[in-house]
Amino acid sequence: MFTGIVEERGSIVAREDLTDAARFTVRGPLVTSDAGHGDSISVNGVCLTVVDILAGGEFTVDVMGETLRRSSLEAVGPGSPVNLERAMPANGRFGGHIVQGHVDGVGTVESVNTGENWTVVRIAITGSLARYIVEKGSITVDGVSLTVSAVGPDWFEISLIPTTLTLTTLGAAAPGVVVNLEVDVIAKYVERLASIGVER
């Protein structure tokens, strides 16, 4: 489990395309400082398993085709910046919200409005995700825990402070950029429980 508090902005060093899969080499000196084989690291909000720890603060991960198709990792390659977070230890501080690293889908940046003290980013979404997103609720965008500041029928907005813009890849968000989205898992559980109750 993660919290959506990005620890560092890393980068993709190499990509090897395999049969319905890919192997990425990722640079992240902080997240590899105590990582080992089999550990979980969130890469742009996608929970991935460390295969190897390499020299120079790099690690490798295998990404199956299903994950590539459901996330923005399909389009990343050498030089792409990525948000990185280690799994939260049992005795760790819960700084964001419950983040599983299970991406529900992608959104597309529709507009970026920069103000004096914060930036408002509007993200277009599909109808299937819209029902889980509420104003003042939590959402994860490319692995970053954020509060929804406004909602429309097929979009939502997030307001980003300078720290978030500086320390994460969202500082480079521009219209047309595709981002990974994970909605609040509690909403999905409530929907499932409600549907079971109706069925019975």
pLDDT in tens, 22-43: 999 999 999 999 999 999 999 9
pLDDT given at position 6: 96
Number of domains in the chain: 2
User: Domain range holding 65?
Assistant: 8-86
Q: Which of 47-56, 64-73, 170-179, 184-193 shows the lowest mean pLDDT across its residues?
A: 184-193
- Tell me how far apart the terminal alpha carbons of the chain are, to the nearest angstrom: 32
Please tell me whether residue 194 adopts helix, strand or coil conformation. helix
In the predicted structure, residue 92 carries a pLDDT above the cut 80: no
DSSP percent split of the chain into helix, strand, coil, nearest 5: 20, 45, 40
Q: Are 109 and 189 within one domain?
A: yes
Residue 2 lies in a domain: no
**Which one of 38, 56, 86 terminates a domain?**
86
Domain check: are 57 and 126 in the same one? Answer: no
Summarised one tens digit per residue, pLDDT across range 46-82 is: 999 999 999 999 999 999 999 999 999 999 999 999 9
Q: Which two tokens stand for residue 126?
A: 């599909």
Same domain, 28 and 64: yes
Q: What's the predicted TM-score (pTM) here?
A: 0.92
Does residue 164 surpass a pLDDT of 60? Answer: yes
